[in-house]
Structure 1
Amino acid sequence: MGRTRPGDARGKVLKAASTLFYRDGIHVVGVDTVAAEAGVTKAALYGNFGSKGRLVVAYLRERDRLWQEQVDEITAACPDPRERVLAVFDAYEAWLSRDGYRGCAFLNATSEFPDPADPVREVVRHHKTALHGYLRAQVTRAGEPDGLADELMLLLEGATVRSVVTQDAEPFRTAKRLAARLIGHQPA
């Protein structure tokens, strides 16, 4: 059996952690389980991340990076800022339906890490602030009031929670219709 290179081990651990932390919860999953799922030693896991806390932060940062890629991909074809806003609802729907309606990984993490000073919470704040900033930039470009971004965030977060409860995507479609009304988007 060949040795796993350090970069390979890091990627394998992140992939395993992402699956396990999202599916089962962060505190429930131990580093032994992550290492076994990744096919690496515990020493390799610690050598790459230093601690479970740093692994959790890396998992959330990677998830944020992947989320940004998906939003960029979905909104790239939308020249109008109003269409970009509505495409974010499509991105949320695609992301959460693909992941089995387990909810927002960032909000799930906040429930497991209640201390606002925890580094995990900083990653969550960064993610949510970036999303809010993106929405604010789009509504500003569309000539809409700045505060509309707050309302859109509430629609997105509410649809996320509702989709977990109902285990389906309809809440995102409903939220998208409401968002279209709020931003005065008239479908072509």
Structure 2
Amino acid sequence: MTDEQVRAQIVEAADRLFYGQGIGSVGMDVVRDAAGVSLKTIYRQFPSKEQLVLGVLEHRHDMWTRGIDSAVARADTPRDRLLAVYDHLAAWFEEDDFRGCGFINAFGELGATSPAVAEAVRAHKLSFEVYVDRLVADAGAPAALGPQLAILAEGAQTTAAILGSPDSATVARAAAETLIDAAFAKPTGSAA
């Protein structure tokens, strides 16, 4: 097995454990057992638990990006591409193991004590905002719509996790439709 494969095996095991049980409640020995490798192998790949958390967040970012890209690619119109974000959320919220946003969860656990984790979470959230901004620009909508749609998606993730209900995606999608329709109804240059 290559170093890359071993690293991926460790990250996938740690991701399942951290996401399902919380980062603080999972020791490295539990990760070792789940990954089927030695502690020495884990620490060779990730010199600290913080580094492993960062590896998991990178993995989650890649999964998120692939999921959003796939949903958006299936949409036919610029408006549908904006709404595809919420369709992706709806499918995700229906998954049996859904526990909310792994980035928000990591920030809640470690954001105050790990500047590196806090920065990784901020970079991910900013990347999503930039992505939505690009979809908004491609649709020819006012730039102010991007942050509105992004924060709506963020709120849906948190609400779905706390309430344990996937309905937040449907509510957020309906609100997004209202925002999109309002943005296109405003004449260019009008006051907000």
The separation in 1 between residues aligned to 2:4 and 2:135, in whole angstroms, is 37
- Which residue is 2:57 aligned to? 60
Match of 1:85 in 2: 82
Conserved 8 A contact 1:74-1:91 = yes
Cα RMSD, aligned residues only: 1.9
Instruction: Give the number of aligned pairs.
Output: 183
TM-superposed deviation, 1:96? 3.3
Write the distance in 2 (CA, Å) between the matches of 1:116 and 1:138. Answer: 34
Match for 2:137 among 132, 135, 140?
140
| In the alignment, structure 1 residue 111 sits paired with structure 2 residue 141 | no
CA distance in 2 between partners of 1:24 and 1:116 (Å): 19
Is it true that 1:102 corresponds to 2:102 in the alignment? no
Q: Residues 149-160 of structure 1 correspond to what in structure 2 (within 5 A)? A: 149-160=146-157
Structure 1 unaligned spans of 5+: none
Question: Residue deviations 1:82-134, cap 9 Å, x none?
Answer: 21111111112222332533111000111111338611112111111111111
Q: In structure 2, the residue corresponding to 1:139 is in which secondary structure?
A: helix
Structure 2 residue runs without a partner (length 5+)? 185-192
Asked if the contact 2:111–2:117 (Cα under 8 Å) also holds between the matched residues in 1, the reply is no
Q: What TM-score results when the alignment is normalised by the length of structure 2?
A: 0.88
Q: Does 1:36 align with 2:33?
A: yes
Shift of 1:68: 0.6
Q: Note closer, same or farther for the CA distance 1:99–1:127 as it changes in structure 2 (3 Å cut).
A: farther
Aligned residue in 2 for 1:18: 15
Corresponding letter in the other structure for 1:12: Q
TM-score, scaled relative to structure 1: 0.89
Correspondence list, 1:2-17, <5 A? 5-17=2-14
Distance 1:164 1:117 in 2: 23
Question: Which residue does the alignment assign to 1:162?
Answer: 159
- The AA in structure 2 aligned to 1:35 is R
Residue of structure 2 in register with 1:179 after alignment: 176
> By how many angstroms is 1:25 displaced?
0.7
Identity %: 35
